Chain A
Amino acid sequence: MERKQPVSVTASDIGQAARCPYALYLEKTGHVPNWQTRLARERGIEQHAQWTCSREPGRICSCWGRVFMIIALVVALAVFLILRL
């Protein structure tokens, strides 16, 4: 006799169910969380993308990193112009 497969759930849902299964149920049935929670989730997604990017070898992910690169370019151009005069 074939064994019946259990209902498939995600590890994230299991974590949420450990906190409160009813909150998970509300979320799955289309209820929208308050704005603080939505904001925290958006920040979490952004931070995750940043974290993943920072682990890629040689990639510049931070806003400051890009600013530094632009400064480097401007300084190099200034040196070029000063030396030309």
Chain B
Amino acid sequence: MDIVIVAIGVFLLLWLLTWRLVTEKTTYGKSVYMDRGYATRVLESRTHGIRCKPDSIEAMSDGELALIELKNRAYPRLYPSDEAQIIASVIAARESGFDIRRAMLEVCSGQRLEVPVSDDEGRLLECIAAPLEAARVVARGEVPKALPSRSKCRSCGFLNQCEFGV
């Protein structure tokens, strides 16, 4: 009987130790929204025609809501495309009832990069005016203007099929 108790004790101890080890989290705030796949609610701005499913919305320690966008890259670097996506998400999330005050980009290592977001919706729309219009052009089925550049074209997956590639 003693053997069984000792074995169960050892197992529980090891289980607890490994559980602590492998479930260690790097979350900065409490999650209030998370993209878990198809069933996740789509946030939408009907006024501006923007839909999004941000990776996460967290309530930070100071009570402010922060929108988190995850990117599969090693180092925290913010590209204009990330900024446009995040700002568009903030506009949609705000109209869906989330009072977003901050926005961040998180990379694989868990490092986060703060993206400045204005409280003024007009300013945010100004920042994404060109890509928003371009995306609408594509949604209408029209051909948009290409923005070729050596650095972008080199890493573009459609380079072989693009007539404007450089």
Residues in chain A within 8 A of chain B (CB atoms): 5-28, 31, 33-34, 36-38, 40, 43-44, 47-48, 51-52, 54-55, 57-62, 64-65, 68-69, 71-73, 75-77, 79-80, 83-84
Nearest CB in chain A: distance from B31 CB, A: 6
Does B104 sit within 8 A of A, measured CB to CB? Answer: no
Establish whether residues B49 and A25, one from each chain, have CB atoms under 8 Å apart when the complex forms.
no
Which chain B positions have C-beta within 8 A of A84?
3
B contact set with A: CB distance below 8 Å: 3-4, 6-8, 10-11, 14-15, 17-19, 21-23, 25-27, 31, 34-36, 44, 46, 48-52, 54-56, 70, 72, 79-86, 88-89, 92, 108, 128, 130-132, 134-140, 143-148, 152, 156-162, 164
CA distance A15 to B3 in the complex (A): 61
Q: Is the interface of A mostly helix, strand, loop or mixed?
A: helix
Total residue contacts A-B, CB cutoff 8 A: 200
Query: Considering the chains assembled together, what is the distance between the CA atoms of A21 and B83 in angstroms?
Result: 15
Residues of B within 8 A of A26 (CB): 158, 161-162
